[in-house]
Amino acid sequence: MPEFIIVNPQAEKHIALIQLNRSKELNALNLQLMQELRDALKELDNNDEVRAIIITGNEKAFAAGADIKQMAGKSAIDMLNIDQFSTWDQIKKTKKPLIAAVCGFALGGGCELMMHCDLIVASETARIGQPEIKIGVMPGAGGTQRLTRAVGKALAMEVVLTGRFLTAEEALKAGLINKIVPNEMCLREAFALAKNIAAQSPVAVKLAKEAVLAAFNTSLDEGLILERKNFYLCFASEDQKEGMNAFIEKRTPDFKGK
């Protein structure tokens, strides 16, 4: 049983919920929590009943970053040997859509975890940033790259070099998050998004996620090649027949993920 996360594989039909659960420490991401998260995501990714995964924290914090107390005394070689990157790399490989429901602080590794998610719902209280600079380091789990790609150089430089937190409004305006809702609506809105996605073909959703993410890693031409291959692949699915026939027959499709 995980200690620092709560996992519900069927919080709603086809929707899994992972809640980060170190609330006294503002969900600071210690090594054990990250390993539990990695293992849970791997399991949910392999669970055919799950079509979308929500990651959330609590009212005060999504996650206030990696655990500074655990990191403070480490040497570079300790960090190398711990190899946290393999944990983050595994999380990055999640094929099913990840939705972050963010209330309060999403800082440092918390912001980076949020940015590993495909859709982000934030509450009005969200405070988002990469404050590592204030403790003598810099982002280490993709913050300089993912934030810059999401919000552009000017704002990313400001956030990374000054450690200033963005409000939810600023994050929305910059294109970092999908929507802002009142605190008490945050999880409900994440479920609404998840439900919408879970009603689509899981095959098409998986292939579409892969194609969108490829836009960050490839040239336009390479990305287009991947998109075309994934598009063709959709036609190998029963879901494609079901989706198109349902449209023609004027009924709601019943996708099976096959």
List contacts with ligand DAK (CB under 6 A): 25-26, 28, 64-69, 79, 84-85, 88, 105, 107-109, 131-132, 135, 140-141
DSSP symbol at 164 = P
Selected catalytic residue, list 36, 112, 170, 189: 112
Active site residue 72: no
Closer CB to ligand DAK, residue 132 or residue 189? Answer: 132
Sign of CA dihedral 30, 32, 33, 38: positive
Active site residue 124: no
Give the distance between the most distant pair of CA atoms in the chain: 65
- Tell which residue, 18, 118, 114, 21, has the closest CA to residue 60: 21
Minimal distance in Å, beta carbon 115 to ligand DAK? Answer: 12
- Tell which residue, 10, 108, 15, 13, has the closest CA to residue 62: 108
Closer CB to ligand DAK, residue 141 or residue 207? Answer: 141
Minimal distance in Å, beta carbon 248 to ligand DAK? Answer: 49
Active site residue 132: yes
Active site residue 112: yes
Closer CB to ligand DAK, residue 47 or residue 148? Answer: 148
Minimal distance in Å, beta carbon 116 to ligand DAK? Answer: 11
Cβ-in-10-Å burial (0-12, 13-18, 19+) of 185 comes to middle
Q: Which residue is nearest to ligand DAK (CB)?
A: 108
Selected catalytic residue, list 36, 132, 170, 189: 132
Minimal distance in Å, beta carbon 68 to ligand DAK? Answer: 4
DSSP 49-108: T--EEEEE--SSEEE--B-HHHHTT--HHHHHHHTHHHHHHHHHT--S-EEEEE-SEEET
Please list the active-site residues. 66, 109, 112, 132
